[in-house]
Amino acid sequence: MVKTASPPLALDPNLPTPLVAQLVEAITAQIHNGTLVVQERLPSIRRMAMLCNVSPVTVANAYTRLVSAGLLDVRDRGGYSVKASPLQATQRPPIDSLWLLQHAYEDNAPIIKAGCGWLAQPYIFTNAVKQGLKALEQSSNLASMLDYGSPYGLSELRRSIRRLLAKRDIPCAEDGIILTHGASQALELVLRTLTQPDDTVLVDDPGYCNLYPLLQSLGLKAVGIARTPAGPCPELFERALKAHQPKLFITTSILHNPTGSCVTTDNVATIHALTVKHGVTLVEDNIFLDLAPESQPCHARYDKLQNIIHIGSFSKTIAPGLRVGYLACAPDIGKRILRYKMATSLTSPGLNEAMVLNIIKTGQYGHHLTDLRERLFHAQKTVCQSLLTIGMTLPLRPMGGLFVWARFKKDVTAHAVAERAAKNDILLAPGSLFRPERSESQWFRFNVTHSSHARLYAFLEKENKGR
């Protein structure tokens, strides 16, 4: 007779970590340390829910993740039992946003990175980078570029960014622009400046997957606002504003990650009116701004940076390894953010900033953007058609950018599909990674610059037909 375990588990609903994730982590830890052994049966879903004082849905989701991670077995009428030894568990970690980051960057990462978040090598502006390196080598200011420089970042590049934003009718003072080590640092600096632990931050649902671990590490509570093809749902946004009294709303307006959608003018006006009414600062994480037409609506254009912090990046348009981002905001907020930048990193890489400046000054950047938009448009068209051909469903066809949001017509266990893909050297990004509480999702994000492989579609078609 198989022994049924009743492991002591303490879950805390007041922690920023979702209860499902807490339960997964607790059971995983007990498998690692030998508290739970191979073939030991776990309590039924209802029994575990009673033991942990949570809903059966929470336990069911946790057990499903543990099965997908290879830690538990499930049998008809037999419940759930421990499958993996501690050694096996360390070899097969559960898929989450950190797994996606780590697995995609490893030297032995999957050959087909269909779920990653950056440009494939053929789309990187390599020629301009090569020319920029030669120009820097011959520059008489090379020594100054290797010095710490201004905490604000290279002044000439900031002026160039100011002109780029002005073309989109986004006015900004030069001392309201701060250069950062990619957009990720810009997000962290804003959060550290404008929030305190236990504050609530509203986010897109689905949204940027790497934002959620950052919020958790800072002790912040994330509340998701459902994303529609027109933008964040105004009704749910207003309800969340009243219920949670958040400090910030972090959203992407243009070529949204992961859905590829763009907000409408009406949506911008409605969301803006609600943020002003409730005194909430909106952080617009628009790293794909330069890939959209200059007429595309966005909050920074509508608000003129009065109640908005705009975050941008050149990593998504020139090369991911350059790590040059920026934020634009009112100068008084900029001064507060600058103090945190100096405290954590002093300055940002002047050499990288000089490289970007050279690409903009020589006129190459504008020509590159025209070419890149056209190539991404055609890649979008091809990938969307390929996904439809094998029987997947798309909520919309993006006008450009990197991402397509798609799902199988039948319900699947997305994490299990992603794990089978990894065994075939294919990196997929299941939709739960893009949800604040890692809730189950049938959707997958596809990067069109990495999704041109016939083997990818052969795998997806096989999955769609039931393997």
Tens digits of residue pLDDT in 397-421: 998 999 999 999 999 999 889 989 9
User: Is the pTM above the cut of 0.75?
Assistant: yes
CA 292/CA 164 separation, integer angstroms:
13
Q: In this structure, which topology does domain 19-91 adopt according to CATH? A: Arc Repressor Mutant, subunit A (1.10.10)
Instruction: Please confirm whether the linkage preceding 206 is cis (ω < 30° from 0).
Output: yes
- How high does pLDDT run on average in the chain? 89
Model confidence at 78, pLDDT cuts 50, 70, 90, reads low
Asked if residue 284 has pLDDT above 80, the reply is yes
DSSP 253-273: -SS-TTT-----HHHHHHHHH
State residue 38's pLDDT score. 84
CA 373/CA 364 separation, integer angstroms:
14
The sign of the CA dihedral 13, 16, 18, 24 is negative
Q: What residue segments make up the domains of the chain, in order of their start?
A: 19-91, 97-117+367-464, 126-362
Contact partners, residue 454, CB within 8 Å, separation at least 6: none
CATH classification number, 126-362, choose in 3.40.640.10, 3.40.190.10, 3.90.1150.10, 3.40.1710.10: 3.40.640.10
**Which CATH number describes the domain made up of 97-117+367-464?**
3.90.1150.10
Residue where the block lists tokens 């803006």: 272
Model confidence at 98, pLDDT cuts 50, 70, 90, reads low
The string of pLDDT tens digits covering residues 243-263 is 999 999 999 999 999 999 999
What 8-state DSSP symbol labels residue 16? S
CA 416/CA 142 separation, integer angstroms:
51
The string of pLDDT tens digits covering residues 190-237 is 999 999 999 999 999 999 999 999 999 999 999 999 999 999 999 999
State residue 7's pLDDT score. 55
DSSP 39-106: TPBPPPHHHHHHHHTS-HHHHHHHHHHHHHTTSEEEETTTEEEE---HHHHHHSPPP-HHHHHHHHHS
State residue 325's pLDDT score. 97
